[in-house]
Amino acid sequence: YKNMIRPFESVLDKINRLNPFYFYYKGDEPDNVYGGLSAQELLTVYPEFVRHLDDHYSVDYGSLTTCIAIRGIQELLERIESLEQKISA
């Protein structure tokens, strides 16, 4: 079960600090293109979504994308609603 639950903070400013990129795995087929983030860079923005495994870092994309997408959409909807209220006034 879950414990130590806390609300997710604002994400939009942090999203702008992320630099997604395309990459290929060494030894993989050249047609296999992937998209991702640098785990080392992500450590400075969202360290809670980076895992340290033996001699390398790994991104927990499942948790990262779920939390960031949902919270980011919520923030954008709040901004839209606020702007709609200003326009209606």
Task: Identify whether 61 is part of a domain.
Answer: yes
pLDDT tens string 20-34: 999 999 999 889 999
Task: Identify whether 4 is part of a domain.
Answer: no
With tokens 């919520």, the residue in question is 74
pLDDT tens string 44-59: 999 999 999 999 999 9
- Cα separations (Å) of 45 from 38, 49, 71, 86? 11, 9, 15, 33
At residue 64, what are phi and psi to the nearest 5 degrees? -60, -55
* H or E, element range at 64: helix 61-88
Task: Identify whether 78 is part of a domain.
Answer: yes
- Domain assignment of residue 45, given as a range: 12-88
pTM: 0.79
Q: What is the residue-averaged pLDDT of the chain? A: 94
